[in-house]
Structure 1
């Protein structure tokens, strides 16, 4: 069982000091994929970095500007291109004369992916394209870019050296598992990125949605165990004669909000594609949502 952390004291638009170097403002965009909304992090004091500015909402921008009053934003950082993370990045950066840092959105592709609430900002392009290990700094704070593909191909987390903390974006969330939606999301990459973060031994993870994760190693281990258990369930379903993803989802995700079943189907597809790559499952024709599968 994943030890989810779902309690979060907040008010929309309020700026909360959540650690010595970190403040948070939560946007009013709650939903099945965003939980209470996008948590925007402000790092430092005086000259600051802003991580995942969130949706381009007037109310939200005004709340951020109030929180940043009298300060200079030197860096605007984006974990990935989804619409609950990136749209306000360039408008906020322009107001403060800052640059936007991250990885560009992947090229648009034909896909039968569901219209997720978070969606994708296919036009997102940072001013500065980051590489794994790049370091950004300001007075009293140091952030390291850690590339973590899986949820999306361009996902980046940011490590705060002074607090041994990680801004985890959607890579690891305390309230829920992370959706992996092919073709941009990749389960093999996701497992590798979880191991990469686990090896860093952070003291706390700050997801963009929901509360911080403070018992980090056991939480990541449970996250991985959950994915491996789902993988085993898929293999069991195949052994029981369920040969399509659509036939599997209602039983595999019986306890999940039905609104999330289209996304769940894509998560099963992500597992299935990885199992096919590993040679443990065979697809009749091109592997996809409507394909038939069998054990190798």
Structure 2
């Protein structure tokens, strides 16, 4: 049986690159782990920084972000509130610095992100990596400074445990394809939306893929044994998960059943 994964999917990063700063929001919880990670990237002292995921609209957290100015751009990995609620107030404090997201609803002062959109800022090379699945608008960012690279993974890969496929917006087929893509980023650190940084994005993605495929086998077995609803599958497959999180597990199960072509009541 595949148990509930609570440990990191790859080795932890020994240290962050000197041009990367982690600001963790004070919103810990079962779905946010230690809190939402806001990442600040800056090529050289005094150069404009890039902020990835401003997090919740917490005044103290926004104060900490602003203190790391100057800031040239704000990027969003996906539209869940724990990553985006702080975007509008932060943009106001930064006198209109653009906020870029794949979803126009979370884009402020510019065009939504599209594949190939130029994101380089003051010595930082940043490339959009579309990774739908956790949500329909989920993206990652490959950031480069000199010879160093990092992948900012949002909630597509977490620093600890696994993420949910937020059905119906999230789609398991898309998520599996996104993980396949991320397996190609071997040896590049992953900077997740929650939890600690991981040493190898590709290794974490491979682990996630194996875990997801094993879960799919469990769902097939539960359906074959007579489970008919998402709730019944959760009870059979996610029995090792705290019941307070079964509602989130049901998101993933609905995505799994859809992926398997199982009709749901």
Check if 1:143 corresponds to 2:140.
Answer: no
Please identify, of 197-206 and 46-55, the stretch whose mean Cα deviation from structure 2 is larger.
197-206
TM-score of the pair, normalised by structure 2: 0.88
- Map residues 71-82 of structure 1 onto 2, 5 A cutoff: 71-82=69-80
Query: Aligned residue for 2:35?
Result: 37
Indicate the RMSD between aligned Cα atoms, in angstroms.
2.1
Check if 1:232 corresponds to 2:217.
Answer: yes
Contact 2:75 2:99 in 1 (8 A): yes
- Map residues 151-190 of structure 1 onto 2, 5 A cutoff: 151-162=134-145, 163-190=148-175
Contact 1:164 1:202 in 2 (8 A): no
Count of matched residue positions in the alignment of Structure 1 and Structure 2: 251
Query: Aligned residue for 2:106?
Result: 124
Per the TM alignment, residue 145 of structure 1 is displaced from its structure 2 partner at its CA by 1.0
Per the TM alignment, residue 29 of structure 1 is displaced from its structure 2 partner at its CA by 0.3
> Over residues 241-285 of structure 1, what are the superposed CA-to-partner deviations in whole Å (9 max), with x where a residue is unaligned?
222221121221111121110110120110110111xxxx4x2xx
> What CA distance in whole angstroms lies between the structure 2 residues aligned with 1:204 and 1:167?
9
Contact 1:159 1:165 in 2 (8 A): yes
Gaps of 5+ in 2: 10-14
Contact 1:170 1:178 in 2 (8 A): yes
> Over residues 28-55 of structure 1, what are the superposed CA-to-partner deviations in whole Å (9 max), with x where a residue is unaligned?
0001110010111110042111000000
SS state at 1:76 partner: strand
Query: Aligned residue for 1:198?
Result: 183
User: Using a 3 Å threshold, how does the CA distance of structure 1 residues 230 and 159 change in structure 2: closer, same or farther?
Assistant: same
Per the TM alignment, residue 228 of structure 1 is displaced from its structure 2 partner at its CA by 0.5
TM-score of the pair, normalised by structure 1: 0.79
Check if 1:51 corresponds to 2:52.
Answer: yes
> What CA distance in whole angstroms lies between the structure 1 residues aligned with 2:6 and 2:209?
12
Gaps of 5+ in 1: 7-16, 106-122, 292-296
Contact 1:3 1:222 in 2 (8 A): no
> What CA distance in whole angstroms lies between the structure 2 residues aligned with 1:146 and 1:134?
10
Per the TM alignment, residue 18 of structure 1 is displaced from its structure 2 partner at its CA by 3.0
Query: Aligned residue for 1:102?
Result: 101
SS state at 1:41 partner: strand
Query: Aligned residue for 1:62?
Result: 63
